[in-house]
Structure 1
């Protein structure tokens, strides 16, 4: 039977649509997994915003500028932003205010070298309660909620100073000592460790111990007084950041040929060792602080566990070994480019 022409046209159109949709469905089903999608389905990984870390020193000093340069180099490949602060002098109130400001800025982590670990502990705890992990370096705040401490054991470092002195003087001689702050725990521990070794293991006599309270001018004056009072001394020991530079000036001015042991690597000490103005330096392996600070803060920011103490140890650097320490001048030139 023949259908009317209008009905035939409608039937043909319907069949054509069915065939078209069926074919499209077959094509889609057979090639979808091989065809890249412009609009991916399902949850996609979100690119993480760069982290911002606060670095807080106990005082503004070229030694910490060196640490900052190395830390910036360690942070650069990770696109981490650093906010660096330091009081103009050893002042716990200033350090507390600076740390509170970092908490208000909602940084992703804070690395601090406490002026006073006990006094800073409540502020460290407040930062942690606010979700900001805190690590200590160089000096510790063990009774706080900090995640880890990066640095040396200062008692053991002081003992190492005594051992180096013992080796240079063959167990006997007369020594002058300069330190920074008499009540700063780390510096007091170094002094105690050195004196303990000298008094129990050697016949070395400590003629004088003076404290410059963070002043290079005072360190210079102290050295003049000690040398004038004890001109036959055999060695000078510097246990702080300020007296090495002063000893270099005095040795140049007086043409002295006496052993000098410094504590803590600084940018001008390498040249002084090569020039014979400083015999050796007890390094806290400060070059490790930078990488440990950044990696520890990254781990803490991602809530990964950290050991209670990351011991960077100590090293004795002499004319033969001092060049193993990073060239800070090279880092400065790289930053200026």
Structure 2
């Protein structure tokens, strides 16, 4: 089963709930499970030696569908059952409930991209105390007992983005920024690196910053509002995948010719990069995550010595840099 199936289910559920918006306090949860064993196709049969790994994302999105595909491929040569979970939109309470459920199910290991590192620290410690190793990816919870973190340095990512903006705008101009959550450590550090570089090395002005808190509609509304209020802006910098998705839609609908640079090589960002709606993207080598996540979960399940941080690195990708890997 592919993640597209539960994405479709999530979309159907969301449409139903939209009709009674106001009476439902949170977005629907979506999840699915698959199992595989060496030399066989996926089946629902669970053998005695099968390891059950839980994968928890912050939300459903084509970006995470891509990660799940790579995780499934990396799992095929091992007796692994995957339980994949995600809120339909960013929702901390739902993500925490998903973590609690996996702990109750006594899975063999959990890989999570946590929405809030402070909120998840006690939950991760609870899982570890129950004998369930936890891997963090993309966003870290460094104060927890997690086995390892898979990802790159968001502060240095922000510095690179500052260099990219400087190069495209030649040291002068006005930019707008949108991110997911102001309290997100990843978003905060990306913004810090970006603003520090611009302040120290350029005359580029930040006109406005907005945060959509994981709400797709708000992300689009925010962008349209900023464009109306600052029609002479030179570039937009989306700090996360929801902001970049919204920027692509707005760029297409309004036919904008301004610069847009973002983080995260999602399928739609790849297309927008080829079409010229996005001019450059910082990739965290996301195409490698699936293999690394499975490697780390298997190592943790075998009680191997941990590596605190698996640095996947990051790099700028422009249209001219596109390869078969992206």
TM-score, normalized by the shorter chain, greater than 0.5: yes
Provide the secondary structure at the position in 2 that maps to 1:77: coil
Provide the secondary structure at the position in 1 that maps to 2:87: coil
The root-mean-square deviation of aligned C-alpha atoms, in Å, is 1.6
Q: 8 Å contact 2:137–2:149 — kept in the other structure? A: yes
Pair 1:79 & 2:97 matched = no
Which stretches in structure 1 are left out of the alignment for 5+ residues?
A: 1-46, 327-337
Provide the secondary structure at the position in 2 that maps to 1:244: helix
Provide the secondary structure at the position in 2 that maps to 1:316: strand
Please give the residue correspondences for 1:115-264 in structure 2 after superposition, counting only pairs within 5 Å.
115-264=115-264
Q: 8 Å contact 1:133–1:301 — kept in the other structure? A: yes
The equivalent of 2:298 in structure 1 is 298
Give, in angstroms, the shift of residue 142 of structure 1: 1.1
Q: 8 Å contact 1:122–1:144 — kept in the other structure? A: yes
1:86-125: CA deviation from partner (whole Å, max 9, x where unpaired): 1233333322221121122221111111111122111211
Larger Rg: 1
Greater helix content = 1
1:9-45: CA deviation from partner (whole Å, max 9, x where unpaired): xxxxxxxxxxxxxxxxxxxxxxxxxxxxxxxxxxxxx
Q: 8 Å contact 2:158–2:189 — kept in the other structure? A: yes
Provide the secondary structure at the position in 1 that maps to 2:144: coil
Q: Give, in whole Å, the separation in 1 of the partners of 2:194 and 2:297.
A: 33
Q: 8 Å contact 1:92–1:120 — kept in the other structure? A: no
Q: Give, in whole Å, the separation in 1 of the partners of 2:123 and 2:273.
A: 40
1:272-325: CA deviation from partner (whole Å, max 9, x where unpaired): 111111101111111121111000010010010121111111111111223343
The equivalent of 2:17 in structure 1 is none
Q: 8 Å contact 1:270–1:323 — kept in the other structure? A: no
- TM-score w.r.t. length of structure 2: 0.82
1:239-291: CA deviation from partner (whole Å, max 9, x where unpaired): 12212222222222322221110111111111111111110111111112111
Q: Give, in whole Å, the separation in 1 of the partners of 2:96 and 2:215.
A: 22
1:190-233: CA deviation from partner (whole Å, max 9, x where unpaired): 11111111111111111111112212222222222222222221
The equivalent of 1:320 in structure 2 is 320
Which shifted more, 85-94 or 134-143? 85-94
Pair 1:108 & 2:105 matched = no
Provide the secondary structure at the position in 1 that maps to 2:299: helix
Greater strand content = 2
Which stretches in structure 2 are left out of the alignment for 5+ residues?
A: 1-46
1:41-67: CA deviation from partner (whole Å, max 9, x where unpaired): xxxxxx971221111112222221221
Provide the secondary structure at the position in 1 that maps to 2:323: helix
Provide the secondary structure at the position in 1 that maps to 2:50: coil
Which shifted more, 165-174 or 215-224? 215-224
Please give the residue correspondences for 1:4-153 in structure 2 after superposition, counting only pairs within 5 Å.
49-153=49-153
- Give the 3 Å change call, closer, same or farther, for CA 222–93 of structure 1 in structure 2: closer
